[in-house]
Structure 1
Amino acid sequence: MSNRFRIASLVYMMTNAVLFGIGIVAVLTIPALARNAMDWVPLTVAASFILAAPIAWVIAPRLRARYWRHRDGDVISGPSTATDNP
């Protein structure tokens, strides 16, 4: 089991919750969708389960420390080691 899969499985749960929240708020606040909420809520649940997996897979490598380094090895954030004075 790769590290990316492990991280993605943890991120999947959070991504699923966010997508479901966005979807259910949209269903309940848009009057045209709220009239048929019994049809839209199960669709929202299914869509959040399906869409969360690829989104979590894309997010997972970004959570690894190696991803945030420059190609030359310098860390993006932090104090600079270069000096301006010769």
Structure 2
Amino acid sequence: MTTHPGVPDQPRVTVLTRQGCHLCDQVLVVVRQVCADAGVELAEIDIDLPGQESLHVEYTDQVPVTFVDGRRFDFWRIDEVRLRAALG
């Protein structure tokens, strides 16, 4: 797992996304539910927005990218069971 200075470690889960990304939409459905079940806050960051240039450069080919506690956890897809375990 890797960290990135542009990704906060609070809230515990962050998903890097972009508009029009069907994989982002799929991952967010799962992550939102897992976070709600675990009582954990979720941050969603659109890497194409102004101010996100460093995230855009590093992760543009990997979105969606899910971080847990500031560390890269998964990209393109999400393993729901593994995410639940990480937050448990």
Q: Which TM bucket (shorter chain)?
A: under 0.3
Structure with a larger share of its residues in helix: 1
**Could you say which structure has the greater relative contact order, defined with CA pairs below 8 angstroms and 6 or more residues apart?**
2
Instruction: Pick the structure with greater CA Rg.
Output: 1
The TM-score normalised by the length of structure 1 is: 0.27
